Structure 1
Amino acid sequence: MLLTLGFLPIATAQPPHSVIQFDTLTKRINRIMRDEHTPGAQVLVFTKDSLLYKLNAGVMNLKTKAPVTDQSMFRLGSISKSFVAVSALLLSEKKQLDFSEELKKAAPEVQFSNPWEDTDPVRIVHLLEHTTGFDDWTLKDFAVNDPNITLQKGLDSSAATRHSRWRPGTFVAYCNSGPPVVARIIEKRTGQEFESFVQQHIFAPLGMKTSTFRRDGAALTHLVTNYSGGNTPREERYLHILERPAGSLNAPALELMSFVQLLMNRGTHAGVRLLDTSSIHRMETPTVSLAAKAGLEEGYGLHNFVTSYKGYIFHGHDGFINSGLAYYLYNTELNLGLIVLVNSDGAGFGKIYNAVLDVILKNIPQRLPPAYTLKKAEKESLLGFYRASNVRFGFSYWYEWLTNVSQVVEQDGKLMMKNLLDGATTPLRPVSANRFIRLNKKGYTTSWALVRNDEGQKVLTGGFLNMTETTALSAWFPIVLGGFALLMSVLSIVAGFIWLIRYGWLKRRSQLLSAMQVRMPLWGYSLSLPLFLGVTLVQVPANPFTVGIVGVTAVTIFVTSILTVAFAIWAFINLIRYRRQMPNRFDRAFLWIAVCSALLVVAYMAVWGLIGLRLWA
């Protein structure tokens, strides 16, 4: 079958690829880009030795309307980390790098802290598999924009994030703090700047002629402009990130395809072997986490994550930098690879790669391992409540702790995982006593393992998500209490407008509305809290590379966090002082309940360090 893009022949596919409906895929992608206002995209589908499908769609820049072409370069973000892993494997094969080596010996100049260092030191393998327990960069680190910063200077700047929050080698928590350390060790062992080493030993052999970690060379003319804001796109500046090996790579899709085909060909390119087959296998295989030791195939290898779709194992990596999104996936058994690159942070990216997977695997039947029948004790051990733990961002755990809570239940003889906040349920398919497959409606078949942490608690771990057992009371009580506090805040906002109207009406009649000294600060609290939550939960995830500097968003969060607390305390003090000036029982009861709920919110903010929150600090 002759596959085409428009009227240009691309490649002749062989079964089973010949049944893929690429014309349908093109229509779906174009529709998604139009509906989601995605400016530009590159999409490739390929085998280990041929290109099956290529789509250059949209524009590089909304002002110039320059179209996306083969030469257009996209920001690949964290896909850069895969090049750190291959570089490390090249040195490992030459016996210049031992993954079991302790960090303090390999790079004593790199600052870090690990309470378990005497018995469980941080090793290079932990840096590569994201099991150090390090926190991710601070928002201040994400906002750094210095084209001349050296790797060592960047590492010095982010030293505070390299603190092991749990025993190294136990749980995966993705972070940008570890991979650049490996890149620095590579520099020390080779005497070359990391970018120069990659250029010589990876880019050049693979024919990646324009790929670069900097805004130089072809990137000066062929790099796309990134946009944020979805329906109302806002042009983003080029960001020179804190530590380039973590996520600064720029490349066109066709050049990235050469790298992915190197992995699919188990280390060879154009008939030349660059890596041993065993090195590729090692890159794809998680080894040190508790989940990996429990037999879980999925997780995070050496800067290569493992995911499952319709029961088929795919390897790859994604990337996000300053509103640019990128993704590569491949499966050597099916001899299929895909690349999706976009220059917008909207919903189009996720919908596009879901559409690609759906179309290219449409005629491939789901393949899952046989279901395992849990014994009564095994089932009872699994059932219960679980809360997110061992998270990537320490900063955001105040929110995840409250909202990311699930329950494993049995319904009609089937195991289900239920999110307590929205009630969404996902089937769980046991494949052994301690391993399960979570059957996502979109086709993803994520594997999970039930393990125990150092405290002996049960932990459901899968991919980058870890959930530790908790009690029903601990799971539900904060959600109910938090929901009630938010409800009272909303009611207080409405009441505030009513109070102002009543105050004006009574004043014309030379009368006074009682306890205005309580009502007004309570209203101030009820207005400040949703503004604080809204900006923090919407703007920070949407603009992680910009909110770490003094600006409108950061200052708004700082000011509203203080006003929320100040108004709540002011309202409470006045409630005590003027409690006898409230003759109406309903008013008195409402104000007491509303003010006390506000104090609960203040206490929660104090526990999590949210009062006077300075994202730039």
Structure 2
Amino acid sequence: MRMRFALVICVLSFAVSAVADPPKKEEPKAARSVAELRQQIEQILKDTHTPAVSVAIVHKDGPEWVGALGTANVAANEAATADTLFRIGSTSKAFASLSILKLAREGKLSLEDPVRKLAPDVEFKNRWESTDPVRVVNLLEHTTGWDDMHLREYAKNADGMDLRTALAYGTASRVSRWRPGTRMSYCNTGPAVAAYIVEKVTGQRFEDYVQQNFFGPMGMKTATYFLSAAHAVTLYHDDGKTPYPYWHIIYRPAGSINASANDMAPYVQFYLNRGAVNGVQLVAAEDIDRMESPVSTWAAKDGLKAGYGLSNYWTFSDGFVYHGHNGGVEGGLTELGYMSEYGVGYFFSISSGNGGAFDRISKAIRKYVTLTLAKPVVPAPAAMPSFVADYAGWYEPDSPRQELTHFLERIAGLTHVSFADGKMTLKGMNGPSNFAPVGGRFFRYLPKEGSPEPAASAALITPNADGTFIYAGNVLKRVPTVVALAEIALTGFVALAVVSIPIYAVFWMIGGFIPRRRRPAERAMRIYPLIAVASLVAFCGIFVVSSGEILTRLGNVSVWSVALMVTTLLFAGAVLMSSWAVITAGAGVRRWVRWYSGVVALALMIAVVYLAWWGIIGLRTWA
């Protein structure tokens, strides 16, 4: 259940992104032994103030290293061990898929069954239900089209709440925004609904079904969906000292498993042995293959193999392809990856939300496990498809995870696609990304540094009634050039106007100290735009200040969430008053001031209309 409500909503974030990145530290060489890898990870924990990490490096025939480093509880100075339970977040989701696959193998349901058939009491909205119903496969491949959990769902501390009650609490987010089975958009609710279907079919509580059919047989002796005070790690803020309270996730199947390195080692080995445990086929090998293969999206139907399967996705790293899943809760990050063809996999989990520590540990482990492995052969570039001219042009993101940030993604994600010199180039705000054709509609990514990817990860989707689309990590929809250029021009116009307001304010405020330069007739045209900008700054500031406690502060009715709503209303009100001041301005207003104020009022009004269209004006994050 990776928490990604960082919500880069501020206009100021564009200024921040323009600041030069600090020099990158030279990455350490690959460890040549477990002892050396351990030293590298210990140094990462020290550098990043990360209290503890749980690690399992596993081969097909058994574990190589299972252990933990650091402090499980800082206040008690309790050392972390291989038996310490860490919260593995969304890595939990795979057990919903495994359960569904087991029941399908037993003939009790099908991945193609409509959800309404199996769980008619689960509320959701899909205006295409008669022709394109939400199916079980869509729940697990994240192709329902539903919005991800709303903040109020994330914030709910659901201690003791059963799954049916939990699903009744958060119905507003379960609305299909496009035809199910077309685009992948990560949604924590889908696996929870799938788990509820398991309960309906089996008559068992989902957690009990998993314990009986998977935890027990796999040898995951201490894994649990519930709080276990004994041997449980404490999760911390990035300072490594301030603890988070235990968060009883509302949808337990989506991300609440607590597991130790000793639990996760046999789980990784289970995948390496293609569903077999101690020579017994617990899950059919074909079902493991199915978990690793997306099927329901447009790109998958066109034949693209990479992507998100059933709670299991492809990751490209330094020329290798991993399967697995990561996860995150407040104060905890987890990664599970494996390569069955090489017979090796790993798991690690840290007790803070420090992304820098997470990335460095991931790289260190991957370097170690691939040290002696030959990289897959990279296919030679193929001829460029003859129809690429039909796909050149401007695109916008069309599969947002959170509808709340769609208004930002639409602008920040505008991308120009071109085909030249044997490459497809996607150019957006973050610079160009290049892809080489590998045959048919498919392309593989060409990284700026490091080893090239050995398989296709992008596709020119077959045109359909909804438009022209490209898949390159997410779905992009082609838009008319005039629309894209108009959006860029209007965004630049509004941004320049907003930046100019405080600059102008410095001069008229200084001038206010000089009696002969005071101009009362121009006062309203000066003050209201400044109030509008101040409200935007306050809006951004509230998000920044709330970032460490975003669930409690913005997922509930609080001083912070109400203040956030007020800033949006204040912005809209100040813009309206600014426009009115320009319209009603009389004698005594200088011509250039009238023109400037009119231009600024127009720019701000464009912003208000845009934000109101997307529901940001009057935003209630707790709703």
- For normalisation by structure 1, the TM-score amounts to 0.89
Change (3 A) 1:369 1:545: farther
Q: Deviations over 1:411-444 (max 9, x none)?
A: 655332222x23x222201111311112334658
Change (3 A) 1:101 1:233: same
Match in the other structure for 1:328 = 336
User: What are the within-5 Å matches in structure 2 for residues 112-151 of structure 1?
Assistant: 112-151=124-163
Residue 459 of structure 1 pairs with residue 472 of structure 2: no
Q: Deviations over 1:235-283 (max 9, x none)?
A: 2221111121111111112312211211211111122221121221122
User: What are the within-5 Å matches in structure 2 for residues 213-252 of structure 1?
Assistant: 213-215=225-227, 219-228=228-237, 230-231=238-239, 234-252=242-260
Match in the other structure for 1:281 = 289
Q: CA separation in 1, counterparts of 2:517 and 2:490?
A: 40
Residue 65 of structure 1 pairs with residue 41 of structure 2: no
Residues 57, 265 of structure 2: 8 Å contact kept: no
Residues 435, 449 of structure 1: 8 Å contact kept: yes
- Which residue, out of 149, 161, 183, partners 1:171? 183
Residues 142, 545 of structure 1: 8 Å contact kept: no
Paired amino acid for 1:339:
F
Residue 50 of structure 1 pairs with residue 97 of structure 2: no
Residue 365 of structure 1 pairs with residue 375 of structure 2: yes
Change (3 A) 1:36 1:47: same
RMSD, aligned α-carbons: 2.5
Q: Give the drift of 1:183.
A: 0.8
Residue 109 of structure 1 pairs with residue 135 of structure 2: no
Residues 318, 450 of structure 2: 8 Å contact kept: no
Structure 2 gaps, min length 5: 1-29
Residue 474 of structure 1 pairs with residue 483 of structure 2: yes
- Which residue, out of 391, 404, 423, partners 1:414? 423
Change (3 A) 1:537 1:98: farther
Change (3 A) 1:31 1:417: farther
Change (3 A) 1:580 1:605: farther
Change (3 A) 1:483 1:108: same
- The farther-off stretch of 263-272 and 352-361 is 352-361
Q: CA separation in 2, counterparts of 1:52 and 1:139?
A: 40
Residue 397 of structure 1 pairs with residue 406 of structure 2: yes
Paired amino acid for 2:316:
S
Secondary structure at 1:281 match in 2: helix
Residues 66, 82 of structure 2: 8 Å contact kept: no
Match in the other structure for 1:598 = 604
Residue 575 of structure 1 pairs with residue 582 of structure 2: yes
- Which residue, out of 185, 206, 213, partners 1:194? 206
Secondary structure at 1:355 match in 2: helix
- The farther-off stretch of 18-27 and 601-610 is 18-27
Q: Give the drift of 1:513.
A: 5.3
Residues 403, 479 of structure 1: 8 Å contact kept: no
Change (3 A) 1:409 1:535: farther
Q: CA separation in 2, counterparts of 1:23 and 1:563?
A: 58
Change (3 A) 1:69 1:483: farther
Q: CA separation in 1, counterparts of 2:605 and 2:409?
A: 21
User: What are the within-5 Å matches in structure 2 for residues 477-516 of structure 1?
Assistant: 477-503=486-512, 505-507=513-515, 511-512=518-519, 514-516=521-523
Q: CA separation in 1, counterparts of 2:573 and 2:283?
A: 61
Q: CA separation in 2, counterparts of 1:62 and 1:498?
A: 52
Change (3 A) 1:479 1:101: same
- The farther-off stretch of 188-197 and 118-127 is 118-127
Secondary structure at 2:189 match in 1: coil
Q: Deviations over 1:322-379 (max 9, x none)?
A: 231111011101111111211222222123213322443355335322311114x333
Q: Give the drift of 1:84.
A: 0.8
Structure 1 gaps, min length 5: 1-17
Number of residue pairs matched by the alignment: 589
Match in the other structure for 1:566 = 573
Change (3 A) 1:410 1:278: closer
Secondary structure at 1:299 match in 2: coil
Residue 298 of structure 1 pairs with residue 306 of structure 2: yes
- The farther-off stretch of 88-97 and 231-240 is 231-240
Q: Give the drift of 1:468.
A: 1.0
Secondary structure at 2:328 match in 1: strand
Match in the other structure for 2:103 = 91
- The farther-off stretch of 18-27 and 243-252 is 18-27
- For normalisation by structure 2, the TM-score amounts to 0.88
Q: CA separation in 2, counterparts of 1:478 and 1:368?
A: 39
Change (3 A) 1:223 1:476: farther
Q: Give the drift of 1:499.
A: 2.4
Match in the other structure for 2:315 = 307
Residues 304, 459 of structure 2: 8 Å contact kept: yes
Residues 423, 437 of structure 2: 8 Å contact kept: no
Residue 429 of structure 1 pairs with residue 436 of structure 2: yes
Q: Deviations over 1:173-222 (max 9, x none)?
A: 1101211111111112211111111111111112212111111xxx2032
Residue 82 of structure 1 pairs with residue 94 of structure 2: yes
- Which residue, out of 456, 459, 463, partners 1:449? 459
Identical residues among aligned pairs (%): 33
Q: Give the drift of 1:471.
A: 3.0
Residues 138, 161 of structure 1: 8 Å contact kept: yes
Match in the other structure for 1:206 = 218
Paired amino acid for 1:567:
A
Residue 36 of structure 1 pairs with residue 48 of structure 2: yes
Change (3 A) 1:477 1:498: same
Match in the other structure for 2:164 = 152
Q: CA separation in 2, counterparts of 1:483 and 1:570?
A: 23
Q: Give the drift of 1:149.
A: 0.9
Match in the other structure for 2:616 = 610
Q: CA separation in 1, counterparts of 2:266 and 2:132?
A: 38
Secondary structure at 1:254 match in 2: helix
Q: Give the drift of 1:495.
A: 2.6
Residues 338, 345 of structure 2: 8 Å contact kept: yes
Q: Give the drift of 1:224.
A: 1.8
Paired amino acid for 1:160:
A
